[in-house]
Chains A and B, each alone.
Chain A
């Protein structure tokens, strides 16, 4: 997928999100006490598809890209003053590099996230608010590239402590009963939705990655990942996540999210560049 086409797809997706937020009639209407349902404790579960790119100079100067599929789960405490989340997930798929011929690799990515954000600004009874705080998250990546003789397996762990700022925009509108997309009937009442956007910048970026030589078979006959990898601090990582939450009549939430996560780290001989564009679709199940 070319950069231009990819940008068009993602811009279109965000445009659709914003259109839905402004004009959608929703599947159900909320009661006049819907304001109480803006906050709560939720278990989020989502299916995920990601367009991911990897370049690992330890084995190749070429960029490998492809679609990864998986899911994520998260326990979220969304309160007026606090926003605390703890979750994780995984993705798997085939990435490839197309020259005159195609070289393929299988990529596994396991993700975890923990964050605590505190409200430092709000307006109109938290129709708008800003929360900031700390986030700890990371990836464990496994890449298998059979073409790289005896350097075919990479296992790495990338962890970051970030400063995060999250903007929330909560909307409640009276709606008339009508048919959404000419098919789904809706009841009149109060419609509740939320658009959130969180930007994270790294404070401490760490990596546990293969040393100078990437080796599958060790000469002592033992496969010991602890000996194979080195720990380092440095590099850059940027994360941005936007969530569109549509509150259902029963208090649960239908959620669509886009997450961009990119980082570059390592030395000249093993510089690693990664980019994920993750689309998550799922539900937040109210726990309280």
Chain B
């Protein structure tokens, strides 16, 4: 009997020790060198735009490695890694610590092309509606519907789109103002595009990284607008964008270009056509990189920004008069 108890104990101890075979060495560390190497290597394997942006990531390694010192403070380490990540010049690249977040100011690549005070005072003042995430109003003697959507993080529903179409059914045109819309959920992009499309329309190809090599991509994953809902808008549509229109807004703009009745007006978008992918460093900080690329049917890559069909910048003289140059130009285009 004692032999059986002894046998069971030995078996248990043996099996518990086997867990060390399953879980390999603990990689948690605050060591600055280890975290630098991990972040550089992860970006090297996962980032999707080295060749497009002509970035020599090996040279970046040689430049920043000497700045990593044994025993350096967490804040100092963060600042070095922050600068290294900004070499990618990508708004989808962030390093997140408990005390700081790195970011690249893509919106500063062009002039500020909207004054939200003017939009509120002149175009969204009287009889303004709030429908879901949309602020909207009739302008230009109710010949044009103006819809302000400030973030794709705010949910858009089919009901919202149907209400907009119904309310402005008798107008000559609709303006969707997406300036300084920094992006959000891709699903909202397709809710809107599916309502704007009158037929099944190819939008773009996407390719996602499937390996550590620079050209290790799989795809394409094709995106289509599939008309949905019982109500359609029969007038012209203008999309307003600027350098602050990033990520999901760029995806929306890229797709909207393929729709027959849509015109893009404003400044180039901020880009951000790579899907961000997150992870964690050995010291617990988290990061994200762009891990995919998106191309048009013609193979064009607009990661650095989608150019508008009509380039219009907000002028200082109009701003002082309380007029939004970009909206006024859109109205002219719609009333032609």
Contacts and interface: CB of A to CB of B under 8 A. Distances in A.
Nearest to B216: A212
Interface stretch (B58-66, B167-175, B217-225, B232-240): B217-225
A150 B288 contact: yes
Contact of A212 (B11, B209, B281, B283): B209
Contact of B5 (A7, A18, A103, A227): A18
Nearest to A151: B278
Interface residues of A, number: 51
Interface string A256-267: 000010111000
A51 to B, nearest CB: 11
Nearest to A58: B279
Given A103-B284, A212-B210, A149 B276 contact: yes
A181 interface: no
A195 B9 CA distance: 13
Contacts of B16: 7, 10, 260
A149 B285 CA distance: 12
Given A150-B288, A220-B223, A59 B210 contact: no
B185 A217 contact: yes
A213 B279 contact: no
A238 B17 CA distance: 12
Nearest to A275: B19
A150 B184 CA distance: 11
Interface string A177-213: 0000000000000000001010100000000000111
A226 interface: no
Given A169-B4, A213-B292, A152 B278 contact: yes
A53 B280 CA distance: 17
Interface string A8-22: 001100100010000
A231 interface: no
Interface in B34-61: 38, 45-46
B277 A99 contact: no
Interface in A242-277: 242, 260, 262-264, 269, 273-275
Interface stretch (B23-31, B78-86, B109-117): B23-31
Interface stretch (B186-194, B256-264, B310-318): B186-194
A63 B20 CA distance: 13
B15 A220 contact: no
Interface residues of B, number: 59
Given A149-B278, A273-B23, A213 B284 contact: no
Interface string B93-130: 01010100000000000000000000000000000000
B210 A149 contact: no
Given A148-B279, A221-B186, A221-B189, A263 B15 contact: no
Contacts of A150: 275-278, 288
B284 A199 contact: no
Nearest to B38: A61
Contacts of B281: 61
Contacts of B18: 238, 262
Interface in A28-64: 53, 55, 58-63
Most buried by B among A18, A61, A238: A61
Contacts of A197: 8, 11
A18 B19 contact: no
A5 to B, nearest CB: 13
Contacts of A53: 23
A219 B23 contact: no
B32 interface: no
Contacts of A211: 210, 218
Given A217-B187, A262-B19, A275-B22, A62 B46 contact: no
B286 A213 contact: no
A199 B11 CA distance: 9
A150 B12 CA distance: 41
Nearest to B14: A240
B193 to A, nearest CB: 8
B22 A263 contact: yes
Nearest to B251: A219
B45 A269 contact: yes
B206 interface: yes
A215 interface: yes
Contact of A217 (B11, B186, B288): B186
A269 to B, nearest CB: 7
A239 to B, nearest CB: 9
A75 B296 CA distance: 56
B221 A219 contact: yes
Contacts of B94: 149
B278 A238 contact: no
A195 B11 CA distance: 14
A7 B204 CA distance: 55
A13 to B, nearest CB: 10
Interface string B201-220: 00010101111100010100
Interface string B244-284: 00000001000000000000000000000001111111111
11 contacts: A59-B279, A62-B284, A97-B284, A101-B284, A150-B288, A211-B210, A217-B187, A240-B11, A263-B22, A264-B21, A275-B23
Q: Which 10 A-B pairs have the closest CB atoms?
A: A99-B284, A221-B190, A149-B278, A60-B280, A219-B206, A61-B27, A148-B278, A220-B223, A262-B22, A149-B288
Given A61-B28, A99-B284, A221-B223, 6 more contacts: A14-B9, A103-B284, A215-B277, A217-B186, A217-B187, A221-B186
